[in-house]
Amino acid sequence: MNTILQQLQQVHDRIAAATAACQRDAHSVHLLAVSKTKPIADIETAYHAGQRQFGENYVQEAIDKIQALSAPCPDITWHLIGPLQSNKTKPVAEHFDWVQTVERLKIAERLSAQRPAPLAALNICLQVNISREPNKSGVLPEEIPALAAAVTELPQLCLRGLMAIPEATDDHDKLTTQLLELQQLFDRMAQIYPAMDTLSVGMSNDLEVAVACGSTLVRVGTAIFGSRNA
């Protein structure tokens, strides 16, 4: 069996085990395959194994892939999971289905204004700096309500959830504390905005604890495709 197929199945098995361990529905957690730096052939392999959601970090690389795969893999859902500068919002608004890294109202306003009218609203996650690290991207938790209220007023966007990259730590209790704070914030916001159904947290190394703390979308690259290409 192809290595990517084996590793994709192993990740699905990990998700199933993680949901069972905390008595969650196995279908309540979705897999985003992080394909940054990976060749189109790898994406096609995962696609033909049933994977439909893919995450990319770099705008131009992603658009090249989106255009190349629009015919052979027409129902891929593309997520931008890397930082977004204001000078890149137009191609992102035109090509992506999701942007998970919105942390400034200016970026959201540009995405809404530049989203082509025939396309469905662009799905948005607000990135939360849940670990409060000074050099990390994201909005502090207490700033999320105001940003969410503003984003929901933009006509071509749909606020779908929160995204976070928790602190890189081997301290399980510290990680769990951060993720539970994120879950509580998500639950509060979802009561206000019913379209919010996505808590995007958990990667190759920590998906189990993320699932235990309410993640609905885990972003996995290395465990599927192997180490990142230079």
**Is 109 within 8 Å of 86 (Cβ atoms)?**
no
Residue 26 lies in a domain: yes
Residue 148 lies in a domain: yes
Residue 230 lies in a domain: no
| Domain harbouring 120, CATH code | 3.20.20.10
- Quote the Cα angle for 152-105-141, to 5°: 80
* Alpha carbon distance 88, 39 (integer Å): 22
Give residue 2's pLDDT. Answer: 80
- How does pLDDT run along the chain (230 residues), one tens digit per residue? 589 999 999 999 999 999 999 999 999 999 999 999 999 999 999 999 999 999 999 999 999 999 999 999 999 999 999 999 999 999 999 999 999 999 999 999 999 999 999 999 999 999 999 999 999 999 999 999 999 999 999 999 999 999 999 999 999 999 999 999 999 999 999 999 999 999 999 999 999 999 999 999 999 999 999 987 65
Structure tokens belonging to residue 157: 């966007």
Residue 124: phi and psi, rounded to 5, are -125, 135
Domain that holds residue 100: 3-225
Residue 157 lies in a domain: yes
Residue 55 lies in a domain: yes
| 58: number of Cβ within 10 Å | 14
Give residue 51's pLDDT. Answer: 98
Give residue 227's pLDDT. Answer: 83
Residue 108 lies in a domain: yes
Residue 76 lies in a domain: yes
What domain count does the chain have?
A: 1
pTM of the model: 0.96
Residue 114 lies in a domain: yes
